[in-house]
Amino acid sequence: MTSTTIDDAPHIEPSPSTQERRNYLNDEYGVLSWLLTKDHKRIAILYLFSVTIFFFVGGIFAFLMRLELLTPEGDMFTSDTYNKLFTLHGVVMIFFFLIPAIPAVMGNFILPIMLGAKDLAFPKINLASWYIYIIGGTFGIIVIITGGVDTGWTFYTPYSTQFSNTKVFATTLGAFITGFSSILTGLNFLVTIHRMRAPGLTWFRLPLFVWSMYATSVVIMLATPVLAITLVMLMVERVLHVGIFDPALGGDPVLYQHMFWFYSHPAVYIMILPGMAIISECVAAFTRKKVFGYKFVAFSSLAIAFLGFLVWAHHLFVAGISVYAALVFSFLTMLVAVPSAIKVFNWTATMYKASVSWNTPMLYVLGFIGLFTIGGVTGLFLGALGVDVHVHDSYFVVAHFHYIMVGGTIMAYMAGLHYWWPKITGRMYPEWWARLSALLVFVGFNLTFFPQFLVGYVGMPRRYHAYAPEFQVLNVLSTAGATVLAMGYLLPMVYFAWSLKFGRKAGSNPWGAVGLEWATTSPPPKENFHETPVVTWEAYDYPAFLKAMKETQHV
Amino acid sequence: MSDVTLHHGAEHAAEPHKHGHHHPFLQHHFEDLGQQHEASTLGMWFFVAQEILFFGGAFCAYFVYRAMYHDAWKLGSHHQDWKIGAANTIVLIGSSLTMALAVWGAQGARRKFTTLMLVLTLILGGIFVGVKGYEYSVHIHHGLFPGAQTYTNVESAPELTRGVELFMTFYFTMTGLHALHMVIGAGLLLWFIKRTWRGDFGPEYYGPVEIMGLYWHFVDIVWIFLFPLLYLV
Amino acid sequence: MTDFPLFPEQASSVAPLVDGLYLFLVVVTGAVSLLIWLVIFYFAIKYRRRPDNELAQEQEPPAILEMTWTVLPLLIFIGIFIAGSLVFFRMQAVPSNALEVYATGRQWMWKFQHPTGQREINELHVPVGRAVKITMASEDVIHSLWFPVFRVKADVLPNRYRTLWFEATKTGRFHIFCAEYCGTSHSGMIGSVIVMEPTDYQRWLAGGTEGSLASQGEKLFQKYACDTCHLDNGTGRGPVLAGAYGKTRPIEGGASVVIDDNYIRESILRPQAKIAAGFQPVMPTFQGQVSEEDLIRLMAYVKSLPAPQTAAAPPVESTPIPTPTTTNVVTTTNP
């Protein structure tokens, strides 16, 4: 293979005229042009602001919890307050950050451009999605301000329906409403991917980001409505004091758990698949190589989506299900680990004899691969019945899912944010500050959550306000890590804002990557492309893409 | 999921190819009306799939409790008047018929006929919801509305009271959600009546009426399942 | 603060199995994770971008590689499933000579009742080297009983009996934790299990004066007038209870039922649910009249009744540790 150097690619030097060119940011001005926009790119920016706010709200709750856990006694907050902190941390992070963030920010912005389309299939529904999210989020804020909720984000009955005297109804209503935002986004993505691909863009030429977002959207569409009906029934029980899930009135609390987890397990795949989507793109871009085993990676996204629906009862191993059910679900849980493993191996193999850049997105990618691997294998511990009995509802579980959600999803989110920042804003972020943040995040994360595996196995239960004194050392380490992690997340706020005014201006393809989004200007024009692109290259085919860019002079 | 053709509109040979004349209802991000129609239809099918999962969850819980409280479930369904339910079912099926005729009418640009069919659909849907309201009031009068304050009905077999109250909870929740979907559909019908009377629809643009029909038929089918499970157990 | 454990003590017969599996998983998954970490950092360094390799050399990888790392992990994971299930079976199979203890969880305390009548709050005395089976229910919300050093845990549900068992292998005082969030003082719903030498345990037991659980249950049986219908000679309005525990009996409607803890409980609280075949539905419900602890006492009494024809088991009151008359306690499962 000829080693085509990137110098052969047309350099789009940011000339003054290029920068003054109309793009989606300067196309229209005024608050209403943003609040009533139908442009998927502006809607993505609206989401970016909202999810960031909720991320820090949820993060503050977490930090307060970690401060309390510095000492074994519950001496900083009352028990009720602490219980509200961990509940709200979960509710805010899951429903208002992790579920929407990557799809609604990066999916919204990049997906249509990657497909060569002018917008998503239903732009007005896209805007409605954001407003629905804001309404649901407002319920969340109201709950926080007016006293909070203390049931845990899982709302187990009968505590949530008959015993808790906190704002359960308002919280579940907020989550219910936000679910519709998620559903409509998924709907939009599915139809767009099916019907609005550019000429020449066949299914197996699609970027792997699209495959993963497709799988995510399928899960969203099929799982979220089950949460919706479960929450409706919860709300009915709470308001009318009937016994749908309350055994004192004839109901079955384990049925609630089945219905809740039927959504909430696929939900974790809603949270990780988009992260994997970003990682696939960044691996290709920062190794300048086609992802190893493209078809395997594409189909593994679908396999994860499918198998993810079959394992929910592994959350109920000690809850009272039969031994036979436990065996079945343990076995299926082992199966769902396989496609994730395939992805990790394939991303690793992509790096072999590649051209690996050490830019910030790649640092987050390396972090993701390492941390997601640990998170994933600890899932095997939990899927193994004999071990799960001991570690269920302990800090081992807490560590496991934070490795996936934070070490996985949030790392991928940061990778994507840095990767597409020049495309979205037309500016580069400051590389060395960004690398420092990535390092802080990596070190802080491991220091926060690795001790939690240990303290969980030793015997510390989760959702504990006060704990046995011998657990203190590990908790202190964890809180120290949280402090470092917080700095790693605050720094980007500063330098991203700085970059908007002072960052180096970016050309169309500052990374020299393959993909339709790099075939248009940074930032893109409102209609994404001046003329509909025609795709003649295979996925991640660097030489062919670069040649096509030269020939068509795509700007 | 076939290979993308270079021009989506080519599949719809029947549609007049518009060069330079932009159909007023073609949205700018679509290449042509054909793509727009396909996208909207696919979107409605996906939405219906999601709704099936929504009601499906309720049906699942219903069946779990039916197995646990078999006798109470039987007694609960005897509290429903199956004749009213059957009549309502006929009304709803009738409204699906008028809806289907409206779609046919829209395809042929039969403005007055289509408007009439949509109005009939709305009326029949309204009758359905009205009858349901009457049934609800009867149940409330007999103390059958679930809840600590409102449920006062004691059964002939007192130990079944709790189970029957649970049945009634499912009755009100499931038919209530169904009625909510009908009310939303009624609102949409009003909007479509306005658009049809205005003359929006014709052979090259009838998609919205078609997907309205799809939604309406789905809501009808949900009732077809609800009726036997709640009235005829 | 200087003495902190990184690994829990092993104090039960099943703990070494759990730890063995755990350590096996740590080694295998740790090795794989370490391998991935090393490889990605090695590749990132060795193949870092330099002016002479701006673009990667395309490699067509052997398909065998993909198959290998699909099939091999799958086999390893299935192996983990099997190992985990085997340990799980050990945890489910209650030994037949287990000492029976009853537990009630409520916000925010644990109540333990020994068959000889001792009641404890947030403490549980057990003998070392003897299997102990705990039958438990909750009075309010879902709790979960966890003994970290024994490696066993089970959720404690309202209105349903669950069981767990352990055999302590070490004396000492160890943690009991509630492991299912249950409200304000969830982290205060803790206690201690005190494992004693058998002789010490006997001495401790002898301190109880209330009479055995079964004898307390007998008093309740008379108080609630159960004995007016459930006669032993078969002529009563209710079926004979003596010797019925553990048997399978037909019920109205054609099916049959195993007379276990949950059935007895259900018959007291919802007597019309499963009526013994050939009997009229005349038993009143005691829902709201009988507390959880009384239910446990009544159950213990019914379980202790020998079948009228045989004099199989000695009367419960005469031995400090009663010989259980049953072998199968079925854990009712969820649909």
**Sequence-ordered list of residues with C-beta below 8 angstroms from that of C170, at least 6 positions apart, any chain:** C9, C10, C11, C128, C149, C195
Q: CA dist A212 to A293, A303, A481, C152, Å?
A: 15, 11, 32, 39
CATH number reported for the structural domain that contains residue A490 in this entry: 1.20.210.10
CATH number reported for the structural domain that contains residue B125 in this entry: 1.20.120.80
B25-65: pLDDT as tens digits = 899 899 999 999 999 999 999 999 999 999 999 999 999 99
Q: Is residue B21 a part of any domain in this protein?
A: no
What is chain B's length?
233
Q: What is the pLDDT of residue C60?
A: 65
- 3-state secondary structure string, A17-75? HHHHCCCCCCCCCCHHHHHCCCCHHHHHHHHHHHHHHHHHHHHHHHHHHHHHCCCCCCC
> What torsion, rounded to 10 degrees, do the Cα atoms A469, A470, A476, A479 define?
-80
pLDDT of B16 > 80? The answer is no
pLDDT of A6 > 50? The answer is no
Q: Do the Cβ atoms of B134 and B87 come closer than 8 Å?
A: no
Residues C147, C166: Cα–Cα separation, whole Å: 9
Q: Strands C190-196, C172-178: parallel, antiparallel or unpaired by DSSP?
A: antiparallel
Contact B3 A202 (CB under 8 A): yes
- Positive/negative CA dihedral, A42, A47, A52, A57: positive
Q: Which residue has the higher pLDDT, A383 or C242?
A: A383
DSSP state of A468: -
Q: Is residue A19 a part of any domain in this protein?
A: no
Highest mean pLDDT among A238-242, A475-479, B17-21: A475-479
**CA distance to partner chain C, nearest, from residue A1 (Å):** 6
User: Which residues of chain A lie closer than 8 angstroms to C1, CB-CB?
Assistant: 469, 472-473
Residues A446, A438: Cα–Cα separation, whole Å: 12
Q: Strands C190-196, C123-127: parallel, antiparallel or unpaired by DSSP?
A: parallel
Average pLDDT rounded to a whole number, residues A403-428: 97
Residues B97, B118: Cα–Cα separation, whole Å: 10
Q: How many CB pairs under 8 A join A and C?
A: 294
Chain C neighbors (3+ CB pairs < 8 Å):
A, B
A286-306: pLDDT as tens digits = 999 899 999 999 999 999 999
Q: What is the pLDDT of residue C324?
A: 39
Q: In what order do the strands lie in the sheet with C152-156?
A: C123-127, C190-196, C172-178, C143-147, C152-156
Q: Is residue B58 a part of any domain in this protein?
A: yes
Q: Is residue B154 a part of any domain in this protein?
A: yes
- Does residue A316 sit in helix, strand or coil? coil
Backbone φ, ψ for residue C180 (5° rounding): -135, 120
Residues A365, A359: Cα–Cα separation, whole Å: 10
How many domains would you assign to chain B?
1
Average pLDDT rounded to a whole number, residues C77-97: 95
Percent of chain A exceeding pLDDT 70 equals 96
Q: Is residue A9 a part of any domain in this protein?
A: no
Q: What is the pLDDT of residue B188?
A: 96
Report H helices in B6-81. Answer: 33-68, 70-78
User: Which residues of chain A lie closer than 8 angstroms to C179, CB-CB?
Assistant: 392-394, 461
Name residue A176's amino acid: F
Q: Is residue A18 a part of any domain in this protein?
A: no
DSSP state of C253: T
Q: Do the Cβ atoms of A207 and A107 come closer than 8 Å?
A: no
**CA distance to partner chain C, nearest, from residue B70 (Å):** 10
User: Which residues of chain C lie closer than 8 angstroms to B160, CB-CB?
Assistant: 272
pLDDT of A547 > 60? The answer is yes
Q: What is the pLDDT of residue A555?
A: 42
Q: Is residue B34 a part of any domain in this protein?
A: no
Q: Which residue has the higher pLDDT, C328 or C199?
A: C199
Residues B9, B15: Cα–Cα separation, whole Å: 8
Q: Is residue A6 a part of any domain in this protein?
A: no
**CA distance to partner chain C, nearest, from residue A464 (Å):** 5
Name the token pair of C259: 């007379």
Closest CA to A189 of A303, A270, A306, A261: A270
Q: What is the pLDDT of residue C325?
A: 38
User: Which residues of chain A lie closer than 8 angstroms to C158, CB-CB?
Assistant: 158, 247-248, 253
Q: CA dist A110 to A18, A300, C133, C286, Å?
A: 21, 22, 59, 64
Q: What is the pLDDT of residue A243?
A: 87
Q: Do the Cβ atoms of A262 and A329 come closer than 8 Å?
A: no
Q: What is the pLDDT of residue B157?
A: 81
pLDDT of A1 > 60? The answer is no
pLDDT of C321 > 50? The answer is no
pLDDT of C331 > 80? The answer is no
Q: Is residue B105 a part of any domain in this protein?
A: yes
Q: Is residue B85 a part of any domain in this protein?
A: yes
Residues C76, B171: Cα–Cα separation, whole Å: 49
Q: Please give the mean pLDDT across all residues of chain C.
A: 86
C19-56: pLDDT as tens digits = 999 999 999 999 999 999 999 999 999 999 888 877 77
Q: Which residue has the higher pLDDT, A12 or C71?
A: C71
The ipTM estimated for the assembled molecules is 0.91
User: Which residues of chain A lie closer than 8 angstroms to B60, CB-CB?
Assistant: 259
**Sequence-ordered list of residues with C-beta below 8 angstroms from that of B88, at least 6 positions apart, any chain:** B128, B131, B132, B227
**CA distance to partner chain A, nearest, from residue C311 (Å):** 35
C86-95: pLDDT as tens digits = 999 999 999 9
Nearest CB to C335 within list B64, B157, B159: B64
Confidence category of residue C237, pLDDT binned at 50, 70, 90: confident
- Closest-CA residue of chain B to C334: B64
Average pLDDT rounded to a whole number, residues A100-118: 96
Contact A196 B58 (CB under 8 A): no
Percent of chain C exceeding pLDDT 70 equals 89
User: Which residues of chain C lie closer than 8 angstroms to B157, CB-CB?
Assistant: 272
C48-67: pLDDT as tens digits = 988 887 777 777 667 788 89
pLDDT of A12 > 60? The answer is no
User: How far from the centroid of its chain's Cα atoms is residue A213's Cα?
Assistant: 11
Closest CA to A174 of A257, A234, A216, A107: A234
Name residue A295's amino acid: K
Q: Beta partners for C134? A: C101, C164
Name the token pair of C321: 């540790």
How many domains would you assign to chain A?
1
Domain that holds residue A258: 25-554
The reported pTM is 0.88
**Sequence-ordered list of residues with C-beta below 8 angstroms from that of A325, at least 6 positions apart, any chain:** A313, C333, C334
Q: What is the pLDDT of residue C254?
A: 82
N-term to C-term CA, chain B: 42
- Does residue C284 sit in helix, strand or coil? coil
Average pLDDT rounded to a whole number, residues A476-493: 97
How many beta carbons lie within 10 A of that of residue C219, not counting itself? 13
User: How far from the centroid of its chain's Cα atoms is residue C137's Cα?
Assistant: 10
3-state DSSP helix/strand/coil % of chain B, to nearest 5: 75, 0, 25
Contact A386 C17 (CB under 8 A): yes
Residues A206, A514: Cα–Cα separation, whole Å: 11
Residues A225, B52: Cα–Cα separation, whole Å: 8
Lowest mean pLDDT among A20-29, A64-73, A88-97, B56-65: A20-29
Please, is A163 exposed, middle or buried when counting C-beta atoms within 10 Å of its C-beta (0-12, 13-18, 19+)? middle
Q: Is residue A20 a part of any domain in this protein?
A: no
**CA distance to partner chain C, nearest, from residue B144 (Å):** 21
Q: Where do we find the tokens 């036979």?
A: A324
Q: What is the pLDDT of residue C55?
A: 77
Q: Do the Cβ atoms of B88 and B128 come closer than 8 Å?
A: yes
Q: Is residue A536 a part of any domain in this protein?
A: yes
Lowest mean pLDDT among A25-29, A348-352, B95-99: A25-29
Confidence category of residue A16, pLDDT binned at 50, 70, 90: very low
- Which parts of chain C are beta strand (E)? 99-106, 109-113, 119-121, 123-127, 131-138, 143-147, 152-156, 162-167, 172-178, 190-196, 248-250, 256-258
pLDDT of C152 > 80? The answer is yes
A164-212: pLDDT as tens digits = 999 999 999 999 999 999 999 999 999 999 999 999 999 999 999 999 9
Q: What is the pLDDT of residue C2?
A: 56
B142-165: pLDDT as tens digits = 999 998 788 888 778 878 888 999
Backbone φ, ψ for residue B60 (5° rounding): -55, -50
Q: Is C334 on the interface with A (CB under 8 A)?
A: yes
Residues C324, C135: Cα–Cα separation, whole Å: 14
Domain that holds residue B73: 51-231
Q: What is the pLDDT of residue B226?
A: 96
- Does residue B41 sit in helix, strand or coil? helix
Q: Which helix (H) or strand (E) holds A413?
A: helix A411-425
N-term to C-term CA, chain A: 27
Residues C78, C291: Cα–Cα separation, whole Å: 46
Q: What is the pLDDT of residue C158?
A: 94
Confidence category of residue C164, pLDDT binned at 50, 70, 90: very high
Instruction: Catalogue all structural domains in chain C, each as residue range(s) with its CATH number.
Output: 99-205 (2.60.40.420), 213-331 (1.10.760.10)
Nearest CB to C335 within list B67, B157, B160: B67
A511-534: pLDDT as tens digits = 989 999 999 998 999 999 988 899
Q: What is the pLDDT of residue C3?
A: 67
Q: What is the largest CA-CA distance in chain C?
A: 100
Residues B84, B86: Cα–Cα separation, whole Å: 5
Q: Do the Cβ atoms of A344 and A338 come closer than 8 Å?
A: no
B72-95: pLDDT as tens digits = 999 999 999 999 999 999 999 999
Residues A113, A522: Cα–Cα separation, whole Å: 12
Name the token pair of A472: 């203190």
